[in-house]
Structure 1
Amino acid sequence: MAQTAGRTRGTGTAQSSPVRERILAAADEHFYAEGIRAVSADKLIAAAGVSKVTFYRHFPSKDDLVLAYLDGRAALERHVLEQFREEAGDACATLLAIARGISDLSCSPGFRGCPFINAAAEYADPTHPARQAIAAHRAWFTSFLTDLLREMAIHDPETVADQLLILRDGAMVTGYLGPDPATLIDTLVEAGRAVIDNAVANTTLPSDTSR
């Protein structure tokens, strides 16, 4: 949901160093702004101010750098969502905070949609490591939403979480393409409430077998 251009947050899977972080920062900025395939290694080498030898020592292939970029974006999003949850105090307030976060992000300078949707569009093969990384993060986000819905005692939280994820995806695309992203918050909250209200209305109480 929440991405911030130019920022990455590593997960400790690789040895961190100032040079590696500088390369990652350049990749984060240019991959998001211009598209992954449109950005060459030479452009990132120049942007990071490193030699080719240094660049390839840290990232032997472009795929390695793409995975690190996606890992950083996913880690940042997880951090933001967990922070929303901690600060909101309850599940309903957390969902509202997520909707506000999407709206705020859509109005921010340099926003061009969801980096995971953008990256998925560039990798047609679902078995590619980049697509697998994207799928893993989306699975985490769906699980995060499911936990919130379960706290709200929503019937079939897994299905409702899938529906909310679809709304989130549409909101991110609309925020980038739409003429007035400032109105996105009201539309997103209204649609999310309709999905949740429908789930509540369809909740069936267990039959009373004591009679």
Structure 2
Amino acid sequence: MATKRNAGTAEPERRSARERLLAAADELFYEGGIHTVGIDRVIERAGVAKASLYDCFGSKDELIRAYLQARHEARQARVTQRLARCDTPREKLLGVFDGLREAMSTPGFRGCAFTRVTAETQPSAGVKAVCDDARGWLRELFTSLAREVGVADPAALARQLTLLYDGALAASQLGGGAEAAETARGAAAVMLEAALAAPPQS
């Protein structure tokens, strides 16, 4: 008769080697940086054979790309869920900063993974593409929300709000904490009102 596995220990065993490697990379790369953390540490944390890493990803660079892609998708889901709680386009636009404050208040928050990777090294084409996609998605989100609110120049406001978002992330790492997102939200509200008051483009 087979012995029933403990529910608390069975879950890790059900995860694939790829999932375990990505989970380990997410923890270690985000905490320590992609240069400081070698593949041996990732493999040890994941509890898989070294061959599994190369079978699943082919190289450390591809593992980094996959780690960032997962981070990008997680942020998209988190922001989308946060905005679903808002009733109006204006609330949604400012809600992006509310979501940022919530993320900053999470234990273990260490800033923007994409900025940290590009600051550490000249990224490969694959890694740079993910970072560009993440930044492009945020700007397009702001553009879309600004258009829904009805500002005269949604693209211009989106550029300003993206800079605010980036600045809040940087400030949070310099001792500003979650308060940086609150300050950015206040500035975003002022920018939004100014954009709404601007005359329509000819």
Please report the TM-score for the alignment, with normalisation by the length of structure 1. Answer: 0.82
Please state how far the C-alpha of 1:117 moved relative to its aligned partner.
0.9
Please state how far the C-alpha of 1:182 moved relative to its aligned partner.
4.4
SS of match in other structure, 1:138: helix
SS of match in other structure, 1:88: coil
Give the match for residue 75 of structure 2.
77
**1:145-176 superposed Cα distances (whole Å, 9 cap, x missing partner):** 11111000011101111110110011111122
Question: How do 1:6-85 and structure 2 match up within 5 A?
Answer: 18-85=16-83
4+ residue runs of structure 1 moved beyond 6 angstroms?
none
Identity, % of aligned pairs? 35
Unaligned runs of 5+ residues in structure 1 are: 1-16, 207-211
Please state how far the C-alpha of 1:205 moved relative to its aligned partner.
6.9
Give the match for residue 3 of structure 1.
none
Give the match for residue 146 of structure 1.
143
Q: Which of 109, 112, 127 pairs up with 2:110?
A: 112
Counterpart residue type for residue 37 of structure 1: H
Return the structure number with greater helix share.
Answer: 2
Please state how far the C-alpha of 1:97 moved relative to its aligned partner.
2.3
Please state how far the C-alpha of 1:86 moved relative to its aligned partner.
2.1
Unaligned runs of 5+ residues in structure 2 are: 1-14
Separation (CA, whole Å) in 1 of partners of 2:17 and 2:85: 34
Which moved further from structure 2: 88-97 or 73-82?
88-97
Please state how far the C-alpha of 1:129 moved relative to its aligned partner.
1.7
Give the match for residue 189 of structure 2.
193
Give the match for residue 133 of structure 2.
136
Please report the TM-score for the alignment, with normalisation by the length of structure 2. Answer: 0.86
**Pairwise CA RMSD:** 1.7
Separation (CA, whole Å) in 2 of partners of 1:94 and 1:39: 37
Q: Does 1:172 align with 2:177?
A: no
Counterpart residue type for residue 191 of structure 2: V
Give the match for residue 3 of structure 2.
none
Greater RCO, 1 or 2 (C-alpha within 8 Å, sep 6+): 1
Q: Does 1:204 align with 2:200?
A: yes
Q: Which of 84, 87, 92 pairs up with 2:90?
A: 92
Separation (CA, whole Å) in 2 of partners of 1:97 and 1:201: 21
